[in-house]
Amino acid sequence: MDLTAAERDMLEGREGPARQRAMKGLVQLGRAYGAPRLVEIGYAHIHAGMALYLEDVELMEDLAAIDARMAVPASVNIANADTVNWKATGAPESLARLQRRAAGAHAKMGSDCTFTCTPYWAGHWPTWNTHMTSIESTVTIFCNSVLGAKSNRDGFFAVYAGITGRYPLFGYHLDAIRRGTMLFEVATPLAGGSDFSCLGFHVGNAVGDGVPVITGFARRPTLDELDALGAGIATSGGASMFIVPGVTPPYGDIAAAFHGAKPPLPARVDAAAIAAVYARYADGHDALDIVHLGCPHASFEEMKLYARLLDGRRVAAGLELWITASRNVRNAAAEAGIVAKLEAAGAKVISDTCPMSCHFARTVSPDPKLGVVPPALRAVVVDSAKQAKYVRDMIQCPVLLTGTEEAVETALAGRFVPRRRPS
């Protein structure tokens, strides 16, 4: 790899041990993928230091101890506990305390402790053509697709990129990769984020790690719907980008999406395809424990929607309604009086974490000193195909997927309300 003088200084330790460690990792990554050089990045969405693993938190503290500092604006991904309102989730205090230790390390390194999978709703909005890095698949696909930034699906290397301000030039940082590989035509009405998440799940399963080009929408999708679409695509497949011609930049039409090459024949997505995703996550169960909204973490507009649906009503006894959003969005919603309406209805507004990332998970081996015992949940109702998959895979309990309005109706009625097909 060709390195600049500044990059060689970092690699050889002249910029301190933290940047040297980070640059060594990035050079190794770049060589593995045949990158000719590094590029300067403008933003990083990085690993939280997950409190379910003591060593994971200590890793972040070790970096802070050797004076690691973020060279670019950096947001922090979702965590294992609500660091403020942990009692509402039933988490042990030891877990919240350890998560706050990770937050302290991030604060020392200059990271914004957003603890969210939607940092763009929390104010981090990388602009067109910005090279960046992201540990979270939903962030990667939203930024690549909707904002026109350039990112791969990264792991811990995102932390190293944030420390150095550099990333190897490969993958979606190359314009040649950012082109359609498969064409989809939507041939059914869609209603809201839940339907878009199911469309994404169907598309992602079909396209694998390619780039889907999606047409046929009856109207221009909202930002929240595009967010749900990308989350679904990234969950069922390995895709890191999608194209909606005329909506996602800079692709004004199908020809531009395929870089002038002849487009393939479209794969038609009908009502049955969307219904099949809902049916995939329809574990029959009469006893419900939690209804969860906010996967990915809710936007301010979604919080307004939840408040409108719940206004003047009350969650059924014996059932919990969780609404998860970044703390930034929660604070904005609180200032607008939205959180008060949600809590008056009996909802729990949770930040920093979500059901699949908290102490509910059964696919992890937490440090025994934390005293984490996952509760035996009977069933969880969700309005996101992404959350449906991870509840089943990680919490390992029955899950029921429905529309957002129907999920709210479920919470109010205390019985499952299946999704109604749009007309």
CATH class held by domain 5-175? alpha beta
Q: How many helices (H) and strands (E) does the chain have?
A: 15, 13
Element (H, E) at 291: strand 290-298
- The predicted-structure confidence for 372-381, as pLDDT tens digits, reads as follows 989 999 999 9
Closest CA to 169 of 72, 42, 37: 37
Whole-prediction pTM: 0.97
Amino acid residing at 211: V
Rounded CA-CA distance 183/207 in Å is 9
Whether the CB-CB separation of 290 and 355 falls below 8 Å is answered with yes
Closest CA to 326 of 127, 139, 165, 68: 139
What burial class does residue 283 get, using C-beta atoms within 10 Å of its C-beta: 0-12 exposed, 13-18 middle, 19+ buried? middle
Residues present in the chain in total? 423
Does the domain spanning 282-413 belong to CATH 3.30.499.10?
A: yes
Q: Please list the residue range(s) of the chain that carry CATH number 3.30.499.10.
A: 5-175, 282-413
Cross-strand pairs, 401? 382
pLDDT band, very low/low/confident/very high, at 331 (cuts 50, 70, 90): very high
Rounded CA-CA distance 246/284 in Å is 41
Query: What is residue 55's three-state secondary structure?
Result: helix
**φ and ψ at 396, to 5 degrees?**
60, 50
Whether the CB-CB separation of 183 and 264 falls below 8 Å is answered with yes
Rounded CA-CA distance 98/87 in Å is 14
Model confidence at 24: pLDDT above 90: yes
Rounded CA-CA distance 44/146 in Å is 17
Whether the CB-CB separation of 125 and 146 falls below 8 Å is answered with no
Query: What is residue 363's three-state secondary structure?
Result: coil
Q: What angle, rounded to 10 degrees, do the helices at 93-109 and 54-65 form?
A: 20
- The predicted-structure confidence for 85-131, as pLDDT tens digits, reads as follows 999 999 999 999 999 999 999 999 999 999 999 999 999 999 999 99
Whether the CB-CB separation of 126 and 140 falls below 8 Å is answered with no
Radius of gyration of the chain (CA): 21
Whole-angstrom CA distances from 247 to 205, 313, 332, 376, 379 are 22, 37, 28, 43, 37
Mean pLDDT of the chain: 97
pLDDT band, very low/low/confident/very high, at 366 (cuts 50, 70, 90): confident
Residue 134 burial (CB count, 10 A):
28
Query: What is residue 302's three-state secondary structure?
Result: helix
Rounded CA-CA distance 233/215 in Å is 15
- The predicted-structure confidence for 211-270, as pLDDT tens digits, reads as follows 999 999 999 999 999 999 999 999 999 999 999 999 999 999 999 999 999 999 999 999
Both tokens of 304, joined, read 């307004």
Mean pLDDT computed over 369-396? 95
What pLDDT, on the 0 to 100 scale, is given for residue 210? Answer: 98
What pLDDT, on the 0 to 100 scale, is given for residue 423? Answer: 73
pLDDT band, very low/low/confident/very high, at 285 (cuts 50, 70, 90): confident
Cross-strand pairs, 382? 292, 401
Mean pLDDT computed over 72-79? 98
Mean pLDDT computed over 321-348? 98
